[in-house]
Amino acid sequence: MARPLSVAIVGPGMGGLATAAALMRVGVDVMVYEQAFRFARVGAGIQIGCNAMKVLRALGLEERMREHSFYPRSWNNRDWKSGDIKFDMIFGESAEEKFGAPYLLAHRGDLHAALASAVPELVKLNHKLVGLDETGEGVRLSFADGSSAVADAVVGADGVHSTMRDILFDTAPAKFTGRIAYRTTYPATLLVGKTIDDCTKWWGEDRHIVIYYVKSDRSEVYLVTSQPEPDFRIESWSAKGDVRDLRASFEGFHPEVGKVLAACPDVHKWAIMDREALDRWADGKVTLLGDACHPMTPYMAQGAAMAIEDAAVLSRCLDGIDRDGVADAFRRFEATRKARTTRVQETSRANIWLKERTDTSWVYGYDAWSVPLAA
């Protein structure tokens, strides 16, 4: 009996872990490598669209995510000052019936933990990639500690600042957009008896703020902003901002925004970067996926979803493939996914998603398990 195909995945974020879980479903041997010494639970929310939930369902994670996530009535888009509704995108049971899966709001840490539970013992920490070489044995990965590994194929899921992308291709650095974001989660009890809408994006003239619950019992609130600040260029999930500056930058917004910011105890701050999609994602038996090849600005809440979709499609392309078929499978994966990821990337960059009445079926109705694969 022929041995299973072996795939090394660099980067255990949402896309990397989803890829590992999806490849395991089709009998591929997988190992995931991470440069950090440990995982950190980042204080941030994440919107899990119906399209991403279809992938998570097949990975056996739907029940867990329903238990640990908030099930919103809608994504309500409102005017920053008057509170007038621009477009109320209804989710809940009607959207679940229409699109075939729920729309959930979660803590990023809860989604990451769920995906990690699907690939137990398959993540090697403290493995910083420094080199890739195709040999007669396969693709050799070299790490900063002097160790190495060999696999039939390698997948780079290491994000917008991908080391794999830099090894494979000559690419320009990420560009600062001139905008920054504040974000935080905090206990809803700090609202002192007040409540918030399920999920609201408050559209200002040159800035916005999104607010929603990330727990099924409404016990934790999340907020994230986008606003101009051309002199701040620190891109870090751990960098702190000044909550007083945050409140001042949204002074004059609707009182419902004010009460959420008044209760906010502290906040993180990071520069919003952007990068053009790559012309090609693969080189022989090595491919990129997710933000490593088609990075997304955060304005559609679809960055992780695109990487999770990538995982499902890639697993279909590699299903039943031996090591000699890997390069063709990677080209098929790219040809299947590129038009969709490009459209989402460009739509997100425009930052008008759901600002007015919008046809969302092309996003949320997509099913990565059944979409036709490219020839």
Catalytic residues, which ones? 212
Task: Quickly list DSSP for 159-204.
Answer: -TT-HHHHHHS--PPPEEEEEEEEEEEEEGGGGTT----SEEEEE-
Q: How far apart are CA 34 and CA 154, in angstroms?
A: 14
**Residues in Cβ contact with 214 at an 8 Å cutoff, skipping those fewer than 6 apart:** 45, 46, 69, 70, 105, 106, 107, 110, 185, 220, 221, 222
Give 107's strand partners.
45
Collapsing DSSP to helix, strand or coil, 57 comes out as helix
Of 365, 313, 364, nearest in space to 338 by CA: 313
* Cα-based distances in Å from 154 to 10, 164, 188, 204, 286: 8, 10, 43, 43, 5
DSSP 8-class letter at 9: E
Say if CB 308 and CB 176 are below 8 A apart: no
> For residues 151, 165, 114 and 311, what is the CA-based torsion angle, rounded to 10 degrees?
-70
